[in-house]
Structure 1
Amino acid sequence: MIDLEVLEGNLKNNKLDNCYIFAGLDEMLIKESVENIINTVIDETFKDLNVIKLDGVSTTFEDIMNACETLPFMSDKKVVIIYRANFLREKTDSLGAKLYSQCTEYIKNTPSHCILVLYYLLNDKRENLMKNKKIMSLDKSCTLIKADKLRGEKLYRKVNSIFERKGKRIGKVELKFFCDSVENNFDIIEREIEKIISYTQGRDITRGDISLMLPNKEEDDVFDLVDYISQKRPEKAVDLINELLNKGENMMLILSLIESQFLMLYKIKVGISEGKTKEDFVRELRRPAFVCEKLIGQSKKFSYKQLQQCMKLCIETEKRLKSTGFHKKTEMELMLIDTVRV
């Protein structure tokens, strides 16, 4: 298994393999690396004729095999990309298991004229790729690439290049503050940069601008926590709440944010039933469009009754936490387990 930096070095030295599998959290970083592979082997003039993209959710083995077996046009190589290849996940349905089994055999004998690229996104930052036996079993058949988040100077340089590409300069201190404050996901980073540039037209970016425009990181953690509840994964929810508490986060604040999240999801469900759109929620909630889109998706995972019960559990837990006779950390864990059972 290699990382993105090693892949970049291999491509510069024209060291290519017949099959690559990417896995990571940041789809934009993965797409950039896939584009680098394409640019290394295919002339710009013939890209449209020699690059085939297949949706991993709906594709069949026959689609994949036909795409790979067809000879390239006016080129030595062609590239077949299977994006969102969720059949590579550790747990899939029967169709996904069958497609994985078929692809496993085919990957070992990928035609020499074809570079097959597959990628899927990890569920969350706590998912351990090394524990995915399906992925690791392919390590000898193809090149596995762990698309890790950029850190430190690499992150600063990459983010600064986006500001420059958009025609805006940002000071070194402000750049570091922005990188330390924003979620480490380049799809989100790009959107937040656009917001800040629009807000600061004609003047320099300040730390105050960044603080004002960026969403609260605690809210992101609470979104993940509620998502675990919707997925019926109490162990993940408990791990996250303990991680937050161990970092010194205020317990009552976290509980308040969880309750507010359930209330917001309830209001969104009511709004959807009344015919409201994403744009309506952007205005009402004063959140970016992509955040509202995520909230709408999350609201659909709960029924009205479930959300009412979850809010009730939050209120009851708050009462107990204000009493000195209860172990507060245990109360939070029990509340999360109860919300999953609702």
Structure 2
Amino acid sequence: MSKRIYLFYGTESFLIENKIKNIIHKSIPEDQRDMNVITYDLLNTPIEEIIQDAETLPFLADHKIVIGKNAFLFTGQKVPQKIEHQIDRLEQYLEQPVDFSTLIFWVPVDKLDERRKIVKQMKKFAQVESFSSLSDASLLDWLTEIAKKEGVEILPEAGQLLIHLVGQDLQLLNQEIIKMATYVGKSGLIDEKVVQELSVRTIEQDIFALIDQVANLQIEVAFQIFYDLLKNKEDPIKMVALLARQFRLILYSKELQRKGYSAQQIASQLGTHPYAIQIALKQSVKFNEQQLQNILIKLAEIDYEIKTGLKDKVLALEMFFFYLKNPTFFP
């Protein structure tokens, strides 16, 4: 197996980028990288040209790195391309690679086509590594390690909240941890309060806050959040969709909890992050199932009325909040 040929595949591009950066850092001095780190797109460049470059001596250096992105030739996926790859040139190179070049192929999908001869040869002669999406537990461990590298600690609850608010984009999560680490200082602690104060605000985050206020019958505060969202040019139709999604999650979580499911089991059943289920279960205490069903029916009506022009977008949502404020809704 060659230590100079790599095949990285998977959808976690941030991890793949970091892996490649580490290889570059260890292999080539910074002042030699401009001329000796070459990246190709295999959708536009035939494999034989990449091999030819790898076989060409480095420019005033001992080593070079050649990277081939979008290497779909290792998959069964059909992609729009106007070129034919001479796979035999890669097969020949695998048998006799040069020692002054590192060759890296990047496949942005989770599965290789194991039936292909070239994939079998890559597994025999190259270093093949998968970078699939991280599980919830692995993602939390990854966040903990990133925080340690920044010289701080993040509480598990804070990590779950950050994932819930920001999503599973590793690059964005990494940026958020760096920002929070700067805020708390070396050996500092990132807790839920820090995450709430510093994390990138999203419309989803404001929708959660809005629903909390509705659940607590603080309709005036809900109106204020709604008007703040409008000031930020958020589309009322999108708000309706997000409100419906969250209330649906609350209803499903409440029903499954009644049937004896744990929060973890509910998360698995609904394909949702466990922290989102924890929030939904907290919010569900303020509603009964019939109320939640009524809310979803009302939101479906509002969606129809807005999209067919029967009601103004803003007025429709204002009337929805007044509907929730009606004493007959909360007996």
TM-score, normalised via structure 1 length: 0.48
Structure of larger gyration radius: 2
